[in-house]
Amino acid sequence: MATGLSSKRILLLMDTLRTTEPEAMELVLREEGYREDRQLKRTLETLGHEVFAFGLGDSIEDLLRVVRRVRPDIVFNQCEAFAGDRSLEPQVAGLFDLLGLPYTGASPRCLELCADKGLTKKILSYHRVRVPAFAVSTARRPMRRSGGLRFPVIVKPLEFEASEGIAQSSFASNWEEARARVEYLHGKFGCDVILEEYVEGRELYVSLLAEARPQVFALRELVFGAWPEGKPRIATYQAKWNDDYRKKWGIRSDYARSLDPKVEQRILQVGKKIASLFELRGPARVDLRLTEEGEIVFLEANPNPCLYRGEDFASAAERSGLDYPALLDRILQQAWRRRRPLPAILRVA
Ligand SMILES: Nc1ncnc2c1ncn2[C@@H]1O[C@H](COP(=O)(O)OP(=O)(O)O)[C@@H](O)[C@H]1O
Ligand SMILES: [Mg+2]
């Protein structure tokens, strides 16, 4: 690629349960379940970079050691957890800020903010972006009454991702059903819980490369092809991760079809506005619902969305003219522009 970033040393950071050194990671990446990660690494290599995949388990010392050894120019941050704990994702990114190493994707602050499904909605309602009304039930002080919530609602863990804890029974038509789900989540995960008014509508994903002038990609939609009429369409854990279930109900991601171009533009604009309000950086996905009445309602912002080839984000970029190598190159270039003069850890020989 003529305008691509010149050859760099890249630490491809992934999360594993135990430290997995680059040499061992090579073997892991050959396994069947790692096809997409392998593809990502190979693509970075075809761009002319030297790539060291490292599995961060539960040892920061091991990470520092590998950074000293590899002396990367950039960290390609694919790490979503530390020691299996997703709530520590922001701190991992923060570590690279302390080390002075440029890394791809979102800042700790943005990761922290977007993890909180309540706080994000408070901020957006201040900025007049439509959000579902909600209430939070904390594990310490569980909600005893429905307050002013209108039913139906959807009951979700406040800070989980990937639809963990979200099933069809998360949909509640009345307070009794909602309370049962709230209690279940408090009991099973010990987590705080959010109850949101259920927004009926098409589920649309705005993918973008967020920078000073963000580039938005083709709009994607989660389609429920063979879903029973009248049953709430929710991207549950099953709907996201169980291939048989997806096939059975015709659940798939696709480009958003037959949308009025004006409506589509409005949706992309809302996505951009949210990206800027949350200071999203690099690859990001904003999830919205479009109601029958044409209202655009915020569901969730995902900093560092899945970058696998064939998933929503890369497909959206591809449709907008950025093939996979070009997309990864852009992501790297953006990280590289944020570099600081001398990474402290690399100054010590
Ligand atoms: N207020 C809501 N109204 C309608 N559907 C919702 C609402 N909140 C969540 N959902 C459904 O549940 C899915 C997962 O919710 P989300 O908040 O994105 O959690 P996660 O972070 O686990 O992906 C959404 O993609 C959507 O299908
Ligand atoms: Mg989501």
Give the domain 9-105 fold.
Rossmann fold (3.40.50)
The DSSP bridge partners found for residue 289 are 203, 297
Quick one: average pLDDT of 7-26?
97
Tokens of 325: 């190598």
Q: Residue 346 has what pLDDT?
A: 66
Ligand 1 atom index nearest CA of 164: 22
Residue in 119, 154, 205 to alter for ligand 1 test, most ligand atoms within 8 A of Cβ = 154
* Strands (E) located in 126-219: 134-137, 153-157, 171-172, 193-197, 202-210, 215-216
Across the chain, mean pLDDT equals 95
Determine the distance separating the centroid of ligand 2 and the alpha carbon of 258, expressed in angstroms.
Answer: 23
216 CB near ligand 1 (under 6 Å): no
- Collapse the DSSP code of 284 into the 3-class scheme (helix H, G, I; strand E, B; otherwise coil) and give the result: strand
162 in ligand 1 pocket by Cβ < 6 Å?
Answer: yes
Pick from 124, 156, 236, 251 the residue to mutate for probing ligand 1's pocket: most ligand atoms within 8 Å of its CB: 156
Where in the chain are all domains bearing CATH 3.30.1490.20?
133-197
Q: Is 121 in the pocket of ligand 1 (CB under 6 A)?
A: no
Residue 117 has pLDDT above 70, yes or no: yes
Determine how many CB atoms are found less than 10 A away from the CB of residue 273: 16
Give pLDDT tens digits for 186-218.
999 999 999 999 999 999 999 999 988 899 999
Contact 292/170 with Cβ under 8 angstroms? no
Question: Where are the domain boundaries for CATH 3.40.50 in the chain?
Answer: 9-105
Ligand at minimal distance from the CA of 204 is 1
CATH of domain 133-197: 3.30.1490.20
Q: What is the atom index within ligand 1 of the atom nearest the CA of 233? A: 27
Residue 1 has pLDDT above 90, yes or no: no
Report the pLDDT value the prediction gives residue 71, as an integer from 0 to 100.
95
User: Tens digits of per-residue pLDDT, 48-95?
Assistant: 999 999 999 999 999 999 999 999 999 999 999 999 999 999 999 999
d(CA 60, CA 63): 5
**pTM strictly above 0.75:** yes
**pLDDT band at residue 349 under the 50/70/90 scheme:** very low
Question: Which of 237, 168, 165, 232 has the alpha carbon at shortest distance from 203?
Answer: 232
For 168-207, b/e burial (b = at least 16 CB within 10 A) is: eebbbeebebbbebbebbbeeeebbbbbbbbbebbbbbbb
Distance (angstroms) between ligand 1 centre and the Cα of 117 equals 10
Q: Which ligand is nearest to the CA of 234?
A: 1
* 3-state SS, residue 177: helix
Coil vs helix vs strand at 8? coil
Structure tokens at 294: 């044409």
Kindly report each contact of residues 173-179 with a partner whose C-beta sits within 8 Å and lies 24 or more positions away, as own/partner. 175/145, 175/146, 175/151, 178/146, 178/149, 178/151, 178/153, 179/143
Beta bridge mates, 272:
none
Tens digit of each residue's pLDDT (9 = 90 or more) over 210-266: 988 899 999 999 999 999 999 999 999 999 999 999 999 999 999 999 999 999 999
pLDDT of 345 over the 80 cut: no
Q: How does pLDDT run across 271-303, given as a tens digit for each residue?
A: 999 999 999 999 999 999 999 999 999 999 999
**How does pLDDT run across 145-186, given as a tens digit for each residue?**
998 999 999 999 999 999 999 999 999 999 999 999 999 999
Phi, psi of 258 (to 5 degrees): 40, 50
